[in-house]
Structure 1
Amino acid sequence: MLWSDPENEPPKDLRDAQDMLRRLGFLMALAMVLIMIVIGLR
Structure 2
Amino acid sequence: MTLNMLFFTITIHQKQMTEEEIRHQQIIEEIMEENRRKQLSAVRFL
**Normalising to structure 1: TM-score of the pair?**
0.68
Instruction: Considering fraction of residues, name the structure with more helix.
Output: 1
SS of residue matched to 2:36: helix
Residue segments in structure 2 that go unaligned for 5+ positions in a row: 1-14
Match of 2:35 in 1: 28
Residue segments in structure 1 that go unaligned for 5+ positions in a row: 1-7
Which amino acid letter does the alignment assign opposite residue 34 of structure 2? L
**How many residues are treated as equivalent by the alignment?**
32
TM-superposed CA distance for 1:9, in Å, is 2.8
**Normalising to structure 2: TM-score of the pair?**
0.63
Look at both structures and tell me which one has the larger radius of gyration over its CA atoms. 2
Runs of 4+ that moved beyond 6 A = none
